[in-house]
Amino acid sequence: MAVLGLMHYAAFTGLCLLVLTPVHHGAQVSTRSFLRRTLVEVSPPEEGICASSVLLHGYKCEELEVTTKDGYILSLQRIPEGRAEASGSGKKQPVILQHGVLVDGMTWLLNSPEQDLPLILADNGFDVWIANTRGTGHSRRHISLDPSNPAFWDWSFDELISYDLPAVFDYVTNKTGQKINYVGHSLGTLTALASFSEGNLVNQLKSAALLSPVAYLSHMSSEFLVVAANTFIDQIISFGQAEFDIKRLPGSAFLNSLCVHPGVDCSDLMTAITGDNCCLNSSTLKLFLLNEPQSSSRKNLIHLAQIVRHGVLAKYNYVLPAHNFIHYGQISPPVYNLANIPHDLPLFISYGGRDALADVGDVATLLDILKNHDQDKLSVQFIKDYAHADFVMGFNANDMVYKNIISFFNR
Ligand SMILES: *[C@@H]1O[C@H](CO)[C@@H](O)[C@H](O)[C@H]1NC(C)=O
Ligand SMILES: *[C@@H]1O[C@H](CO)[C@@H](O)[C@H](O)[C@H]1NC(C)=O
């Protein structure tokens, strides 16, 4: 039961962070069939992201590899220029795109070229780099560990902060010699903010756009996830390292046990978990389900549940004071103090009124912590109708968000 608890708990954290919602405006995907498909019918394509999602639109695209200091070999795609361009047109600003948890870089590429952020950026003169976190489909390699080895999965977002982000930033800095613009979504905002707060990456950075920021999760409006995080974390914490793969989950006994919990309304589960996305196209969601969700580590999901539960952005909590002491030299995990983010770092933050994950109350906490940020370096956008996935996959995200990102980067 405890194992089932873990799997299902994490599944729904994942779903939530993945933002699978039923679609509106005539796109017919029911919650029930959607859920079933999510849990069973996924097989990532073997070909790389360039081949599956970029080259066919007439853009150049390079498949690259970056090795982290702890040995993970990450896949990275570069789209060096726009469609209409003759090559060699001078120095371009690089942009790194960092996806959230349980998805990979392909989630930026599920609409038409006129709607996808990487291609819009390329057409607007940027040199685009798409990162893929360790453990996701094209980043399942390590210099000595195989993914079948539990040690391959011994990491949480602390390691994404310490190793994955710096590896990609160093690589792009080396190749371009330019300061970098960053776009993060969901967990890609948390890892960036935490890095900046420790003074990392900031010397290589020109500016950062943070979509659906999730540095704090204590107001998360999904009762379902709050109950899941609070009820099951104790059971799952002792299970140690392993891959977390939604595609291999069993049935829904756990779901039923959660749904009888007072306060949890499962009648429209997807909306309850993720928020009411306004602007997803059913064809986009079909593509999404062909490639996502991707694997993460159990430890990473447990760490996220700790953030929900404790309301503090801290390093992974080993629970036993002695274990924390071994890792950190103190009995509780160190906190990432976002007030230490350099006040002159150009930040663009965009958040949605219907986002059940990056809840308005938690974004308010973040903005309060950033209240001493230089006024002219912080740009905040609120989109009343947007929920978590609209920022990456919304059919109108170009008009709503991406145009603003581009003018922010061009300031
Ligand atoms: C970047 O360049 C430096 C100096 O040439 C080199 O030591 C380092 O390994 C490079 N890093 C990456 C990630 O390519
Ligand atoms: C939704 O996707 C279909 C198929 O790709 C496309 O023809 C249609 O224009 C899309 N709708 C919107 C609003 O982007």
CA dist 126 and 376 (Å) reads 23
Ligand 1 and 224: CB distance under 6 A: no
Instruction: Flag whether pLDDT at 399 surpasses 70.
Output: yes
Q: Is 388 a catalytic residue?
A: yes
1 assigned to some structural domain: no
Residue in 110, 115, 282, 395 to alter for ligand 2 test, most ligand atoms within 8 A of Cβ? 395
Q: Cis bond leading into 293, ω under 30°? A: yes
| CATH classification at residue 237 | 3.40.50.1820
162 assigned to some structural domain: yes
323 assigned to some structural domain: yes
Residue 368 lies in domain: 6-410
Please give the average per-residue pLDDT across 2-30, as a whole number. 32
Catalytically annotated residue among 355, 359, 362, 390: 355
Residues 6+ apart with CB under 8 A from 45: 52, 290, 291
Ligand 1 and 171: CB distance under 6 A: yes
Residues 358, 210 contacting (CB under 8 angstroms):
no
Instruction: Measure 80 CA to ligand 1 centroid, in angstroms.
Output: 20
Number of domains in the chain: 1
Ligand 2 and 218: CB distance under 6 A: no
Residue of minimum CA distance from atom 13 in ligand 2: 395
Instruction: Measure 280 CA to ligand 2 centroid, in angstroms.
Output: 10
Catalytically annotated residue among 53, 139, 156, 186: 186
pTM of the model: 0.85
Residue of minimum CA distance from atom 3 in ligand 2: 283
- Token pair of 254, please? 């756990």
Residue of minimum CA distance from atom 6 in ligand 1: 174
331 assigned to some structural domain: yes
Residues 194, 161 contacting (CB under 8 angstroms):
yes
338 assigned to some structural domain: yes
User: Which of 30-39, 81-90, 181-190, 319-328 has the least mean pLDDT?
Assistant: 30-39
147 assigned to some structural domain: yes
- Structure confidence at residue 91 as a pLDDT band (50, 70, 90): confident
Please give the average per-residue pLDDT across 34-57, as a whole number. 66
Chain center to CA of 327: 26
45 assigned to some structural domain: yes
